Amino acid sequence: MPDSQIGCYGTAASRWAGVGPYYAMFPVSFANEAVKEYTKPGDWVFDPFAGRGTSLFAAASQGRFGLGIEINPVGWVYGKAKIETAERKDVEERIRWLGQRSVNYRADAKRLPEFFHACFCPKVEEFLLAARESLDWRRKRADWTTMALLMIDLHGKRDSALSNQMRQTKAMSPQYAVDWWKERSLEPPERDPVDFMLKKVSWRYAMGCLGSGSGHIYLGDCQSILDRWRNRPPKTKASLLLTSPPYYGVTNYFYDQWLRLWLLGGPDKPCSPGEPCKRKFENKKYYIDMLRHVFEMSGSVLRDDAVVLIRTDARQFTREATIESLEFAFPQKKLRSEKYSLPDFTQTTLFDPGSEPKGEIDLVMW
Q: Using CB under 6 A, list all residues that contact ligand SAM.
A: 22, 24-26, 49, 51-52, 54, 69-72, 75, 221-223, 244, 246, 253, 277
Beta carbon nearer to ligand SAM, 25 or 306: 25
Helix axes 122-134, 88-101, angle to 10 degrees: 120
β-bridge partners, 149 = none
Alpha carbon 340 to its chain's center: 22
Residue nearest to ligand SAM (CB): 51
**Quick check: bond before 156 cis, omega within 30?**
no
Beta carbon nearer to ligand SAM, 119 or 297: 297
Beta carbon nearer to ligand SAM, 112 or 242: 242
The CB-of-113 to ligand SAM minimum distance in angstroms stands at: 26
Beta carbon nearer to ligand SAM, 134 or 223: 223
Beta carbon nearer to ligand SAM, 278 or 333: 278
The answer to whether residues 92 and 133 touch, using CB atoms and an 8 Å cutoff, is: no
Query: What number of CA atoms fall less than 13 Å from residue 297's CA on the CB side?
Result: 22
The CB-of-70 to ligand SAM minimum distance in angstroms stands at: 5
Cα separation, 247 vs 287, whole angstroms: 9
Of the candidates 34, 69, 85, which has an alpha carbon nearest to the alpha carbon of residue 225? 69
The CB-of-78 to ligand SAM minimum distance in angstroms stands at: 8
The CB-of-29 to ligand SAM minimum distance in angstroms stands at: 12
Cα separation, 29 vs 340, whole angstroms: 13
The CB-of-55 to ligand SAM minimum distance in angstroms stands at: 6
Angle at 255 between CA 326 and CA 137, to 5 degrees: 90
